A = this chain, B = another copy of it.
């Protein structure tokens, strides 16, 4: 089968198209013929060996994907050959014609979603759900800042928060991003490249109950000063260190929590998938695809996904 692979930790340009052996599965696994693969920042961290991520080589990138079930392990129940599914945390890499997937991390794909859309669910929507509900205990009426809202996780968070009846403020770095957020139904948009963009929110009266933070190393210090009483910052993304004043947490009875999808147990993942599906079927949630690349352009997608000014999810078309 065709796959994009890299032989050792290195730049995206080291990725090349190879003819690889079709994966074999064990009795607990599912072989999926991949229709489309999602591209997420974590894929680039694994490829380059940063942030303590590691890979086996040759490495086929890609955690997220969607497609049809080609083979079923003997002990797998609740699925059938030919069924449309999406998955995350697969075993062999989704940038390939087939991927071996753990049955515990594979879910039915909503009829309303294409494979390309389905490839946007695993990491972005599950992370957004975990950050908003599982970690920050969000509920209707909460005032939520989605800080860096135009990327794949950001848009998923905006859609989930609006669907749950929260008051959403979202930040963008570009006019195009602000337009995208308005299309998503956000009426209160702030531009995070403007100085003091959080100043109007930095009092207990005007602060946020929840801040979903995509770049904590840039924003956490000012975020803490923009929390309401007992507010919470959910850290979803981070690329370095930052100086904070812990007294900001004391003054507000506030908290900072880390969010990482790899830490979520299968039972909670299954509940999240179950709660997302009807919202996809009804169109309440709908992935935004910024760009779709052929498999051979995976290197370009790895470079693009780390650029600022994101406008949704990047996906790779495969079958």
Tell me if A272 is interfacial: C-beta within 8 Å of chain B: no
The contact of A246 among B135, B216, B251, by CB within 8 Å, is: B216
Alpha-carbon distance A246/B263, docked complex (angstroms): 15
Partner of A238, one of B242, B250, B253, B255: B250
Docked CA distance A242–B256 (Å): 15
Q: Which residues of chain B are near A250, meaning CB under 8 Å?
A: 235-236, 238, 258-260
Contacting residue for A256 out of B240, B243, B246, B260, CB 8 A? B246
Chain B residues, CB < 8 A from A213 = 246
Q: Is the CB of B253 within 8 A of A245?
A: no
Residues on B with C-beta less than 8 A from A236 are 250
- A220 closest partner in B (C-beta): B246
Q: A229-B263, A253-B257 are in contact. List 12 more A-B contacts (CB 8 A).
A: A220-B246, A235-B246, A236-B250, A238-B245, A238-B246, A238-B250, A246-B258, A249-B258, A251-B258, A252-B263, A255-B255, A255-B258
Q: Is the CB of B255 within 8 A of A260?
A: no
Q: Which 7 A-B pairs have the closest CB atoms?
A: A249-B258, A216-B246, A250-B258, A253-B263, A238-B246, A255-B257, A250-B260
Which residues of A approach B to under 8 Å, CB–CB? 51-52, 135, 213, 216-217, 220, 229, 235-236, 238, 240-260, 263
Question: Is A245 a contact partner of B249 (Cβ separation < 8 A)?
Answer: no
User: Which among B216, B243, B253 is the interface contact of A243 at CB below 8 angstroms?
Assistant: B243
Total copies of the chain: 2
Please give the distance in Å from A50's CB to the nearest CB on chain B: 10
Q: For A240, give the chain B residue with the smallest CB separation.
A: B245
Chain B residues closer than 8 Å to A249, beta-carbon distance: 235, 256-258
Judge whether A246 and B217 touch: CB under 8 Å: yes
Q: How far is the CB of A76 from chain B (nearest CB, A)?
A: 28
Report whether over half of chain A's contact residues are helix, strand or loop; otherwise say mixed: mixed
A242 to B246, CA, bound (A): 8
A51 proximity list for chain B (CB < 8 A): 247
Residues of B within 8 A of A245 (CB): 217, 238, 240-241
Chain B residues with Cβ under 8 A from A260's Cβ?
250-251, 253
Residues of B within 8 Å of A253, CB to CB, are 135, 257-260, 263
Q: Does A251 lie within 8 Å of B217, measured CB to CB?
A: no
Q: How far is the CA of A258 from the CA of B135 in the complex (A)?
A: 16
User: Residues of B contacting A255 with CB < 8 Å?
Assistant: 255-258
Closest partner residue, chain B, to A215 (CB atom): B246
What residues of chain B lie closer than 8 Å to A238, measured between beta carbons? Answer: 245-247, 250
Q: Which residues on B sit within 8 Å (CB–CB) of A243?
A: 241-244
Give the residue of B244, B247, B263 whose beta carbon is less than 8 angstroms from that of A244.
B244
Can you list 30 residue pairs at the A/B interface with Cβ under 8 Å? A51-B247, A52-B251, A213-B246, A216-B246, A217-B246, A220-B246, A229-B263, A235-B250, A236-B250, A238-B245, A242-B243, A242-B244, A242-B246, A243-B244, A244-B244, A246-B256, A246-B258, A247-B258, A249-B256, A249-B258, A250-B258, A250-B259, A251-B258, A252-B258, A253-B258, A254-B257, A254-B258, A255-B256, A255-B258, A256-B256
Q: Which residues of B contact A216 (CB under 8 A)?
A: 246
